[in-house]
Amino acid sequence: MIKYVIRRFIQAIPVLFLITVACFALMHAQGNPADRFAQNPKITQAQIAAFEHRWGLNDPLPLQYCKWLGICGDKPFLLNALPAGLGGGDNGILHGDLGTRSSMDAWSRTSSRSAPFQR
């Protein structure tokens, strides 16, 4: 039974890798998010370039994928892959950041005054 569980776990690793690659590819199939700003006359090219730099849109695709997973960042590879409580990074899909982190932080700051759906 132990051999079966280990074998299934080892088989799951490439499947999970392919799923993350497919999700990342679907996100990039939508195009560059900064292209939406190009039609706005109030936004300068410098602001668009700053947006692309801030979100790493100018980085090569493998580096973008690595940052999206949360295993690449400003810390060394093995440290960045650890949870934030152990001194690692605190962003990326592997750390549970599914893209709603900033909105949840904003919600927690405003919801302390009055929580919705309470009577």
Q: Give the model's pLDDT for residue 102.
A: 44
Q: Give the model's pLDDT for residue 63.
A: 85
25/96 Cα distance (integer angstroms): 19
Model pTM greater than 0.75? no
Tokens at 68, concatenated: 């999206």
Q: Give the model's pLDDT for residue 82.
A: 62
Secondary-structure breakdown of the chain: helix, strand, coil percentages, each rounded to the nearest 5: 60, 0, 40
Spans in the chain with pLDDT lower than 50: 100-119
Tokens at 17, concatenated: 């890798």
- Rounded to whole angstroms, what are the CA distances from 47 to 24, 28, 36, 37, 109? 25, 21, 12, 9, 28
Tokens at 48, concatenated: 């668009």
Q: Give the model's pLDDT for residue 58.
A: 87
